[in-house]
């Protein structure tokens, strides 16, 4: 996909960009390296990420599920657990209502499984993206009434479902809303709301996804029933997948949840996920956060994006081995369909940008088409943000109405932007980086103009420059098998805790050619500093040869891994960006 994008004229190396370089206190680096017996390289990375004391670094590197705060510290969890425990004891019919994405599906499976194991009378429901749309619908509430549901629990939705919650209350249901989305000014009339983003909340960590919130409610409910249980005994692997899938920062509680979830997944104790790993050819022993985000979560997401999310939820709930493998196979097939649909949509979207938009004037990309599937436009919007470094709003048109999905950059919060568009759109919501909305098609031109007017006010020219955030400036001597292996201690990595980017300054370029592999799009270089030479590769970067000459002095940003070559460990250094030391295209900025 990245190689396909590079062929278009807006290639990143032709644009000005900013390399953000940390200003480190070398005494902090020395103390962490000395007291924790770490390499200077890892100590630099930890300090760059705000972990400037040995205790902070130790907690980050060695924290476990036991370090998670008590679930009842979050407002509403104690009350929700009390209601659920009482309902289980009395045999009250409970409906767990989730969402159609991997976060909502995993959260639903987690809470439904826990309540069922406690002896609860539990039903579940996940909406169809096309038929039901996002959130709790009055149709779902009416179906719940027909089935005799007395307690409704919403997961990953509900905070914006005022009408549906009001109807459920009218029918005499108790309603618990467990949601992590930005709350509206007027909250739904639920009996209990669990949301760390409520204005009244004093909870210190706001960036929990629905799966993590469901885990807290499940843990507190078990304890409320007088059955103390450890974190690892609950299905924390579901909370881990939800956390990785929903692209919340992998720091603080999220990091601990994913770390514990990976341990559980490596034991392959969850039947459905074990089947999914086998179908996706993931060895449990090799599992890392990458596999959660890019292998398992997309397969769970795919059915909800393309059609009906129920097979994904059934996979996470099943106790039958044959059913697990049948469902895992279906999810894998749907993911392949999703990939094909996504690639076609991306190709169309890029061509529309290049043909129809003047990006020197338009700071926001707004595109619409009746040929697009609403289930993939969010992913494609994210790809456009990656390619063009500006907010992207994509709209799938059906009849007179468009369903939209948006992704953004820093300093252009989607939730705030959509709030200013209330007179133009039918509904919408989200958070800073992403959101969804529906809009009458006749309003799309006005919507485009309004967003670009906002961008003129909210975004500076510098906000639209591509950024490379450097974690550590290193010497060539610091980069070796031992120090690179030690960087594994940063796992799980992902959004908010990415794979570290290292920077080598003032190195001599001693070799630069196109790789003979991968269609000549791969760049192969060797750089020398002192007596040490490092070999690096850059995917889709062969176009950089136009500005690189052997013998020149360069700066290079790169990531570092270890690969096996003939069974022997070797450095695998991947270029993030490279530029001549005297370049005018790169702005160096100290953080």
CATH 3.90.1300.10 assigned to domain 2-24+471-590? The reply is no
pLDDT in tens, 535-568: 999 988 888 888 899 999 999 999 999 998 988 9
Nearest CA to 97 out of 89, 88, 105, 87 is that of 105
Residues with Cβ within 8 Å of 10's Cβ and at least 6 positions away in sequence, in order, are: 353, 354, 359, 387, 388
Q: Are the C-beta atoms of residues 164 and 140 closer than 8 Å to each other?
A: yes
CA distances from 578 to 16, 454, 484, 525, 542 (A): 13, 34, 20, 10, 11
Looking up tokens 């900013």 gives: 18
Question: pLDDT tens across 436-475, in order?
Answer: 899 999 999 999 999 999 999 999 988 998 889 999 999 9
Is the distance from CB of 43 to CB of 33 less than 8 angstroms? yes
Task: Spell out the residues 6+ positions from residue 248 whose beta carbon is closer than 8 angstroms to its own.
Answer: 207, 208, 209, 212, 254, 495, 496
Beta bridge partners of 473: 503
pLDDT for position 206:
94
Mean predicted lDDT score pLDDT of the chain: 92
Q: Which two tokens stand for residue 174?
A: 């108790």
Query: 250: Cβ–Cβ under 8 A, 6 or more apart, which residues?
Result: 243, 244, 258, 289, 492, 493, 494, 495, 496, 497
Q: What per-residue confidence (pLDDT) applies to 149? A: 97
103 three-class SS: helix
CA–CA separation, 370 and 240 (whole Å): 36
Q: Where are the domains of the chain?
A: 2-24+471-590, 68-332, 357-465
**Residues 373, 95, 121: CA angle, nearest 5 degrees:** 140
User: Is the pTM above the cut of 0.85?
Assistant: yes
Class of domain 68-332: alpha beta
DSSP H helical ranges for 357-494? 377-388, 414-420, 444-458, 481-486
Q: What is the pLDDT at residue 14?
A: 60
Q: Could you give the residue ranges of the DSSP H alpha helices within 357-480?
A: 377-388, 414-420, 444-458
Q: Which residues pair with 434 in a beta bridge?
A: 407
Relative to beta strand 427-430, strand 434-440 is antiparallel
DSSP for residue 74: S
Under 8 Å between Cβ of 136 and 154 = yes
- Rounded to 5, what percent of the chain is helix, strand, coil? 45, 20, 35
Question: String of b and e for 378-416 (b: at least 16 CB within 10 Å)?
Answer: bbbbbbbbebbbbbbbbbbbeeeebbbbbbbbeebbbbb
Picking from 428, 396, 368, 353, the residue whose alpha carbon sits closest to that of residue 182 is 428
Q: Which CATH class is domain 357-465?
A: alpha beta
Q: Residue 162 belongs to what H/E stretch?
A: helix 162-170
Q: What is the pLDDT of residue 197?
A: 95
Counting Cβ atoms within 10 Å, is residue 232 exposed (0-12), middle (13-18) or buried (19+)?
middle
What is the rounded distance in angstroms from the CA atom of residue 180 to the CA atom of residue 175? 16
239 vs 212: CA distance, rounded Å: 5
Which residue positions in the chain have pLDDT lower than 70?
A: 1-14, 516-520
User: How wide is the angle at C-alpha 313 spanned by C-alphas 311 and 314, nearest 5°?
Assistant: 60
């Amino acid at each position: 996909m990245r190689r396909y994008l590079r062929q278009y004229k807006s290639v990143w190396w032709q644009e000005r960009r900013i390399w953000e370089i940390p200003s480190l206190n070398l005494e902090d680096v020395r103390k962490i390296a000395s007291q924790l017996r770490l390499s200077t390289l890892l100590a630099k990375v930890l300090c760059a990420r705000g972990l400037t004391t040995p205790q902070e670094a130790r907690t980050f590197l060695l924290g476990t599920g036991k370090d998670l705060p008590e679930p009842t510290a979050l407002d509403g969890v104690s009350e929700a657990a009390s209601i659920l425990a009482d309902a289980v004891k009395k045999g009250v019919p409970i409906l767990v209502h989730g969402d159609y994405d991997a976060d909502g599906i995993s959260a639903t499976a987690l809470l439904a499984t826990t309540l069922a194991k406690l002896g609860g009378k539990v039903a579940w429901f996940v909406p169809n993206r096309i038929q039901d749309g996002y959130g709790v619908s009055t149709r779902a509430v009416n179906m719940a009434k027909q089935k005799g549901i007395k307690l409704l629990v919403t997961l990953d939705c509900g905070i914006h479902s005022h009408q549906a919650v009001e109807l459920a209350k009218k029918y005499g249901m108790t309603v618990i809303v467990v949601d992590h989305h930005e709350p509206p000014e007027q909250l739904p009339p639920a009996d209990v709301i669990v949301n760390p983003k409520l204005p009244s909340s004093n909870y210190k960590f706001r960036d929990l996804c629905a799966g993590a919130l469901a885990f807290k409610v499940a843990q507190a409910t078990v304890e409320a029933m007088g059955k103390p249980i450890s974190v690892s005994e609950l299905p924390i692997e579901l909370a881990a997948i939800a956390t990785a899938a929903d692209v919340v920062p992998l720091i603080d509680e999220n990091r601990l949840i994913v770390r514990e979830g990976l341990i559980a997944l490596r034991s392959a104790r969850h039947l459905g996920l074990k089947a999914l790993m086998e179908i996706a050819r993931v060895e449990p022993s090799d599992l890392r956060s990458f596999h959660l985000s890019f292998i398992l979560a997309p397969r769970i997401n795919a059915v909800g994006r393309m059609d009906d999310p129920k097979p994904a939820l059934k996979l996470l709930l099943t106790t039958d081995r044959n059913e697990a493998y049948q469902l895992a196979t279906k999810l894998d097939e749907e993911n392949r369909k999703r990939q094909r649909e996504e690639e076609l949509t991306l190709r169309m979207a890029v061509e529309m940008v290049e043909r129809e938009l003047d990006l020197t004037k338009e700071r926001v990309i707004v595109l619409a088409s009746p040929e697009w599937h609403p289930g993939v436009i969010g992913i494609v919007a994210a790809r456009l943000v990656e390619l063009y470094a500006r907010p992207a709003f994509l709209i799938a048109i059906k009849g007179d109405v468009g369903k939209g999905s948006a992704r953004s950059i820093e300093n252009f919060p989607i939730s705030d932007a959509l709030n200013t568009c209330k007179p133009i759109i039918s509904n919408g919501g989200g958070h800073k980086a992403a959101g969804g909305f529906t809009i009458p098609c006749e309003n799309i031109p006005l919507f485009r103009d309004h967003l670009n007017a906002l961008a003129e006010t909210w975004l500076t020219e510098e906000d639209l420059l591509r950024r490379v955030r450097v974690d550590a400036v290193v010497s060539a001597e610091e980069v070796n098998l031992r120090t690179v292996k030690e960087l594994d201690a940063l796992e799980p990595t992902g959004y908010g805790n990415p794979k570290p980017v290292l920077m080598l300054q003032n190195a001599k370029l001693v070799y630069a050619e196109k790789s003979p592999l991968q269609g000549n799009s791969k760049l192969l270089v060797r750089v020398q500093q002192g007596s040490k030479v490092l070999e690096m590769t850059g995917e889709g970067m062969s176009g950089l040869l136009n500005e690189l000459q052997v013998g020149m002095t360069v700066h290079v940003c790169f990531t570092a891994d270890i690969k096996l070559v003939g069974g022997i460990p070797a450095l695998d250094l991947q270029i993030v960006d490279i530029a001549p030391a005297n370049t005018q295209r790169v702005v160096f900025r100290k953080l």
